[in-house]
Amino acid sequence: MSRLSKAALAGVLSLGFSCAAAVGAQSAGQSSDSPERQPASQAPPLTVRSNLVLVPVLVKTKVGETVFSLTADDFILTDNGVPQPLRLEPDTDSQPLALAVIVETGGQGAFHLGDYHDLGAMLDAVIGDVPHRVAVIGFDSKPRLEQDFTPDTDAAAKMIGTLPKGDPGAAILDALAFGIRLLRNQPPAYRRAVLLFSETMDSRSQTSLEAAIRAVGDTNTAIYSFAFSSTKQAVKHEASKLPGGSYSDEPYPPGGCMSKDPNADPDAHGSRNVQALDCASDLLPPLRVARVAFLAARDGFKRNVPESVAKLTGGEYFSFHNAATLKDRLVVISNDVPNYYVLSFRPKSPNPGLHALELRLKDRPQLKVSSRKAYWVDDSANITTR
């Protein structure tokens, strides 16, 4: 694949099922309503209109050099463990972009507000030379729309650089759900992406982990995360308070169906009936793969929300410490985005629920592949072919 032009930056930001908001979704003119009127945990369902799944892929050598010369035949992709025929999508260089910039102003984010000054040139580089709309969302204990969607990146950058300090909260899941909902209200022709600036640990969100995973997985939005570390003490304290969350330094607790100890008592943490929702061992292979992927995603959300959402959507995750390192990371994003391969496939079994994607290269162990890890099909989706 040849290197894409700068104008293709926004075209490859988009991920996911081709989908449309279900009846009852709000119009773009209502997007400035406060989260109190539009609870962040009540994102409207999506109805799938086509079963074409897009999978952006970034391939690099072990020393970080981008690889351009691959074809669809060089990749192997499974959907819930089932191999899928792949197509390499042609370059897109004119599709418009809707970008939500989500910035933590509360919690530890208050100490990093000065890092976001003068980001106008960086926003222009990430967006590229395409029609675009940029919104700015600030959040502490609650998300707020600070700047509605505008084609003026300078106005958006000015808003980002002048956000006021918030309260002690860091409701990352609520902010993501709120931002994704606003992106859904943008014109269907627009690609969608999120730039998230936050600490790693959620605090005070009302959105459950399950709802957050679904919100991230059932929309064609790529999430690019830039995070500064929460303290370990804060991680342990706040993870235990997440809706549906808890924290442990172990990958999985001893015993139970997700235990790595084959001799552990499967009922060590309760009866099998109690654990039925979390145990995947008795499911058919495709459903088992999807359930394990869901559990892994949920575990990741408890440990590092920005990293987990980036990996699920096929975006990228970077840590930063100050304004200089943040701008360095944004330069990497602006260079990486136009060099994505965009693969597509039509699922052989588009069953409702979370679908786990696994992508690898044929006989090229020396190369590193980054790609989307999952997508979600709504229970009531009207799936068709085209």
pLDDT at 109 over 70: yes
List the domains of the chain with CATH numbers. 6-245+287-377 (3.40.50.410)
* Residue 350, amino acid: P
For residue 229, give Cα distances in angstroms to 80, 112, 165: 32, 12, 18
For the record, the structure tokens of 46 come out as 């999506």
Residue 69 CB-half CA count within 13 A: 4
Distance CA 319, CA 365 (A): 26
Interacting residues of 275 by C-beta distance below 8 A, sequence separation 6+: 256, 257, 266, 267, 269
Tokens of 64: 């970080």
Distance CA 190, CA 207 (A): 26
Q: φ and ψ at 79, to 5 degrees?
A: -115, 110
**Confidence at 231, pLDDT banded by 50, 70, 90:** low
More confident residue, 125 or 255: 125
Pairing of strands 16-21, 341-345: unpaired
**Burial letters for 12-24: b for 16+ Cβ neighbours within 10 Å, e otherwise?**
bbbbbbbbebeee
Average pLDDT, the chain: 76
- The reported pLDDT for the residue numbered 36 is 41
Signed CA dihedral, 42, 220, 106, 236: sign only: positive
Q: What is the pLDDT of residues 138-169, one digit of tens each?
A: 999 999 999 999 999 999 999 999 999 999 99
Least confident of 7-11, 47-51, 301-305: 7-11
Average pLDDT estimate for 20-26: 31
Pairwise CA distance, residues 78 & 356, whole Å = 8
- Strand 317-319 relative to strand 221-228, pairing: parallel
311-320 pLDDT, tens per residue? 888 889 999 9
DSSP for 65-118, please give it: -B-----GGGEEEEETTEEE--EEPPP-----EEEEEEEE-SGGGGGGGGGGTT
pLDDT at 26: 35
- Alpha carbons within 13 angstroms on the beta-carbon side of residue 279 total 16
| Cα 336 from Cα 314, distance rounded (Å) | 12
Mean pLDDT (whole number) for 218-244: 68
pLDDT at 67 over 80: yes
Which pLDDT band holds residue 41 (cuts at 50, 70, 90)? Answer: very low
Give this prediction's pTM. Answer: 0.73
- Label residue 206 by pLDDT band (50, 70, 90): very high
In angstroms, rounded to a whole number, what is the distance separating the alpha carbons of residues 74 and 365? 12
pLDDT at position 10: 38
Which of 46, 44, 41 has its CA nearest to residue 17?
46
User: In the numeric block, which tokens belong to residue 177?
Assistant: 């759900």
According to the model, what pLDDT value does residue 170 have?
96
